[in-house]
């Protein structure tokens, strides 16, 4: 589950970049063109239903299907699918073997890292008690129903913790942390990353205080490499969760929970196939065995050789594009635990080539051969721009395809469509009442606009939150954008594009990862006294 952003959020996909704005329209066109013959096995499996595979030069983002499972993992899952077992017995055996491999007291395979977070939270509030379990997420009457989260750890993925029904208590200083603990504190949740390594709110400092309070600490290390002995447990954490479909290269739908045996076993009680709130988070025998095999292989893999292979792939790409006049490259090799991989920066002058990094990333994603690189491109000083290439999930030979495609694009940039400069067809200043038709519902919003020339600014009042808005009008074509970020990290981006006809605008609303909707806006008719 969790993409490539970990710092604050530097992992998991977060799909806020403009590079994904083209996907909904592309999805509709491909769905309409899907062949009627149906699914067929073979190298063109995806193409047989109208889906275009891609070369992953971006990282382990869930939206582009994470990592590729190891051959041994695929073989283990195929074998596991041919036999029946008792799932409780299987998970008990896997838990013991994970303990042997990782050095943790016990282990659990979950339905992704998010499920591991949810099951761990349930274990901390209910402890395996079925009387409590069947009432989750209604925690009324529970002795413990609060989770302490340091401010820097608030993120989109703590929704998996909140799903249990707990109340979040934030702490941004050592003093706030001390006062955050109380008789109802069930757990502390920490997002692994640089800010959890040092200072008064580090994992070690929090774990020491939590131990005094007899409160367990859960670390979310979704996209990190698996360390043995485990770095987080050694710092005093009680539990640590990982994504299985990233660097470990297990099933994309699997995750790991490692740590204190009683709590990990209680987490299993609060997960499927047992009934209750977590029934939807089912892990099958195939994924469970596949995840165990991925951990077995992790202990055997030559990680240094893998790193050198990644560097060799980047070197091949760098040499190919560096022959283009004005193109420069550099390789960075970060040593943090999350998404540990080198990356290649390719830079050029946008004014000179007539092409931005964002345009190149969109072009690579929408043409053949289809290549995913980090969306949005890179920005430097002045007109400097560029793209980056991540070799983390590239297959052998992909570097040659990526190198040739980048060389072709940068050595002979495609002609850009001239920007239209028509005068605005009208002044949109004022209030506009907006009706948005989502896939299965509708909502009324309000836009307050102020226009100067062809530029527009104002506010966008949504269902709950008002946020700033900016855009433009060229002739009768209107484009408006607004965005805001929730306290816990969820970011909502709205891009209104439409055509003005009299006192009405109608068109398409792009919502990033939430795909598209239709919208209609009418100039508000104020009543006269």
Q: What is the pLDDT of residue 299?
A: 97
Rg (CA), the chain: 25
Helix (H) or strand (E) holding 185: strand 185-191
378, 411, 444 - which closes a domain: 411
Model pLDDT for residues 496-510, shown as the tens digit of each residue = 999 999 999 999 999
pLDDT at residue 15 in the model: 31
Q: What is the pLDDT of residue 421?
A: 77
4 falls in which pLDDT band (50, 70, 90)? very low
- What is the pLDDT of the chain when averaged over all its residues? 91
Give pLDDT tens digits for 304-355. Answer: 999 999 999 999 999 999 999 999 999 999 888 988 999 999 999 999 999 9
Each residue's pLDDT tens digit, 245-258: 999 999 999 999 99
pLDDT (0 to 100) of residue 281: 96
Whether pLDDT at 20 is above 80: no
- From the list 241, 253, 252, the residue with the least C-alpha distance to 108 is 241
For residues 283-291, average pLDDT: 97
pLDDT at 53: 96
Residue 487 Cα to chain centre, angstroms: 17
How many C-beta atoms lie closer than 10 Å to residue 165's C-beta?
17
**Is 341 in contact with 392 (CB distance < 8 Å)?**
yes
Residue 502's CB is within 10 A of a number of other CB atoms, namely 10
HSE toward the beta carbon, residue 140, CA cutoff 13 A: 1
Is the domain of 127 the same as that of 214? yes
Q: Cα separation of 507 and 518, whole Å?
A: 6
Count of CA atoms in the C-beta half-sphere (13 A) of 52: 19
* Digit-coded pLDDT (tens) for 99-153: 999 999 999 999 999 999 999 999 999 999 999 999 999 999 999 999 999 999 9
Distance CA 443, CA 455 (A): 26
Whether 12 is covered by a domain: the verdict is no
pLDDT at residue 255, as a whole number = 97
The answer to whether residue 23 scores a pLDDT higher than 90 is: no
Would you say residue 393 lies in a domain? yes
* Domain co-membership, 148 together with 251: yes
Domain count, the chain: 3
Residue 483 has pLDDT above 80, yes or no: yes
What is the reported pLDDT for 10? 41
This prediction's pTM:
0.89
Mark whether 173 and 267 lie in a shared domain.
Answer: yes
Q: What is the pLDDT of residue 11?
A: 38
Is residue 64 over pLDDT 50? yes
Both tokens of 159, joined, read 């929704």
Say what the pLDDT of residue 17 is: 36
CATH number for 242: 3.40.640.10
85 and 210: one domain?
yes
The pLDDT of residue 35 is: 54
**Least confident among 211-225, 350-364, 370-384:** 370-384
In this structure, are 315 and 283 located in the same domain? no
Query: Is residue 474 included in any domain, yes or no?
Result: yes
- Looking at the domain assignment, is residue 4 inside a domain? no
CA dihedral defined by 306, 309, 314, 320, rounded to 10 degrees? -170
Q: Is residue 9 part of a domain?
A: no
- Taking the chain, what is the end-to-end CA distance rounded to the nearest angstrom? 57
Separation in Å, CA 516 to CA 185, 242, 319, 320? 40, 32, 40, 38
Are residues 283 and 188 part of one domain? Answer: yes
pLDDT average, residue stretch 366-377: 93
Distance, in Å, from the CA atom of 257 to the CA atom of 264, rounded to the nearest integer, reads 7
For residue 47, give the CATH number of its domain: 3.90.1150.180
Residues 56 and 89 reside in one and the same domain: no
Domain presence at residue 422:
no
The predicted model gives 69-77 an average pLDDT of 98
Q: What is the pLDDT of residues 290-301, one digit of tens each?
A: 999 999 999 999
Helix (H) or strand (E) holding 131: helix 130-133
**Higher local confidence (pLDDT), 7 or 45:** 45
Q: Which domain holds residue 446?
A: 430-523
Q: Which two tokens stand for residue 413?
A: 């940039």
For residue 11, is it within any domain?
Answer: no
pLDDT beyond 80 at 176:
yes
CA 435 to chain centre: 29
* CB contact burial 241-273 (16+ within 10 A = b; e otherwise): bbbbbbbbbbbbbbbbbbbbeebbbbbbbbbbe
Residue 437's DSSP bridge partners are: 442, 518
Could you tell me where the DSSP H helices lie in 243-380?
A: 261-269, 285-298, 303-322, 350-353, 357-366
- Domain end call among 258, 278, 298: 298
End position of a domain, from candidates 377, 411, 445: 411
Question: Burial, 417: exposed, middle or buried (Cβ in 10 Å; 0-12, 13-18, 19+)?
Answer: exposed
Question: The CATH number of the domain where 484 resides is what?
Answer: 2.40.128.120
Please list the helix, strand and coil fractions of the chain in percent, rounded to the nearest 5, in that order: 35, 25, 40
Tell the burial category of 420 from Cβ atoms under 10 Å away from its Cβ (0-12, 13-18, 19+).
exposed
The CA-atom distances, in angstroms, between 528 and each of 431, 504, 522, 523, 525 are 15, 21, 18, 15, 9
- Asked whether residue 346 falls in the same domain as residue 450, the answer is no
Asked if 92 and 164 sit in the same domain, the reply is yes
Q: Tell me: the pLDDT tens digits for 430-446? A: 999 999 999 999 999 99
Separation of CA 46 from chain center? 23
Residues 252 and 382 in one domain: no
| Banded pLDDT at 376 (limits 50, 70, 90) | confident
Angle at 41 between CA 405 and CA 298, to 5 degrees: 70
- Cα–Cα distance, 385 to 287 (Å, whole number): 42
Q: Which residues neighbour 346 within 8 Å (Cβ) at sequence distance 6 or greater?
A: 317, 318, 321, 327, 328, 329, 386, 387, 388, 389, 406, 410
What pLDDT, on a 0 to 100 scale, did the predictor assign at position 1? Answer: 39
Q: Are residues 346 and 377 in the same domain?
A: yes
* Percent of the chain residues past pLDDT 90, beyond the cut: 86
How many residues appear in the chain?
529
Distance, in Å, from the CA atom of 48 to the CA atom of 29, rounded to the nearest integer, reads 15
In a domain, 10, yes or no: no
Angle, CA 257 vertex, CA 254 and CA 262 arms, to 5°: 140
Q: Among the listed ranges 18-32, 80-94, 118-132, 175-189, which one has the minimum average pLDDT value?
A: 18-32
Other beta carbons within 10 Å of 526: 7
Report how far residue 356's alpha carbon sits from residue 408's, in angstroms, rounded to the nearest whole number: 15
Residues 340 and 442 in one domain: no
Q: Where are the alpha helices (DSSP H) in 164-227?
A: 174-180, 203-213
């Amino acid at each position: 589950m969790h993409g490539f952003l970990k710092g604050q959020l530097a992992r998991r996909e977060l799909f806020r970049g403009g590079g994904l704005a083209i996907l909904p329209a592309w999805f509709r066109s491909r769905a309409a063109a899907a062949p009627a013959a149906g699914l067929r096995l073979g190298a063109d499996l995806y193409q047989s239903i109208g889906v275009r595979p891609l070369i992953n030069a971006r990282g382990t983002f869930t939206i582009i299907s994470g990592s590729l499972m190891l051959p041994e993992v695929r073989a283990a899952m195929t074998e596991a699918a041919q036999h029946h077992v008792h799932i409780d017995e299987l998970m008990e055996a896997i838990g013991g073997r994970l303990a042997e491999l990782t050095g943790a007291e016990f282990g659990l395979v979950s339905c992704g890292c998010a499920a591991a977070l949810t099951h761990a939270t349930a274990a901390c509030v209910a402890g395996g008690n079925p009387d409590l379990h069947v009432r989750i997420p209604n925690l009324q009457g529970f002795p413990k129903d609060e989770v302490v989260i340091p401010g820097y750890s608030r993120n989109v993925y703590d929704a998996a913790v909140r799903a249990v029904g707990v109340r979040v208590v934030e702490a941004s200083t050592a003093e706030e942390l001390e006062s955050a603990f109380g008789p109802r504190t069930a757990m502390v949740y920490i997002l692994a990353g640089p800010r959890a390594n040092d200072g008064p709110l580090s994992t070690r400092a929090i774990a020491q205080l939590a131990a005094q309070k007899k409160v367990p600490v859960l670390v979310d290390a979704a996209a990190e490499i698996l360390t043995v002995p485990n770095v987080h447990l050694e710092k005093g954490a009680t539990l640590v969760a990982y994504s299985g479909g990233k660097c470990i290269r297990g099933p994309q739908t699997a995750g790991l929970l490692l740590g204190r045996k009683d709590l990990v076993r209680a987490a299993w009680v609060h997960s499927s196939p047992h009934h209750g709130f977590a029934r939807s988070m089912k892990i099958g025998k195939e994924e469970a065995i596949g995840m165990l095999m991925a951990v077995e292989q992790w202990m055997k893999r030559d990680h240094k050789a893998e790193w050198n292979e990644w560097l060799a792939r980047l070197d091949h790409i760098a040499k190919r594009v560096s022959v283009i006049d004005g193109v420069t490259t550099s390789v960075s090799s970060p040593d943090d635990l999350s998404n540990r991989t080198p990356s290649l920066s390719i830079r050029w002058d946008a004014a000179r080539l007539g092409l931005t990094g964002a345009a190149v990333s969109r072009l690579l994603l929408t043409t053949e051969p289809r290549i995913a690189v980090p969306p949005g491109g890179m920005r430097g000083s002045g007109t400097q721009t560029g793209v980056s290439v991540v070799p983390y999930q590239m297959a052998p030979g992909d570097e040659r395809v990526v190198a040739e495609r980048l060389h072709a694009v940068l050595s002979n940039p495609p002609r850009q469509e001239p920007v239209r400069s028509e005068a605005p067809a009208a002044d949109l200043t004022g209030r506009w009442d907006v009706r948005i038709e989502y896939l299965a519902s509708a909502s009324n919003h309000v836009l307050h606009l102020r226009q100067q020339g062809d530029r527009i600014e104002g506010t966008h009042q949504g269902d709950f939150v008002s946020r700033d808005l900016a855009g433009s009008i060229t002739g009768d074509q209107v484009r408006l954008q607004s965005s805001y970020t929730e306290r816990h990290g969820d970011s909502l981006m709205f891009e209104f594009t439409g055509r003005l006809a009299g006192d009405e605008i109608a068109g398409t609303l792009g919502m990033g990862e939430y795909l598209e909707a239709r919208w209609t806006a009418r100039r508000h008719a104020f009543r006269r006294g």
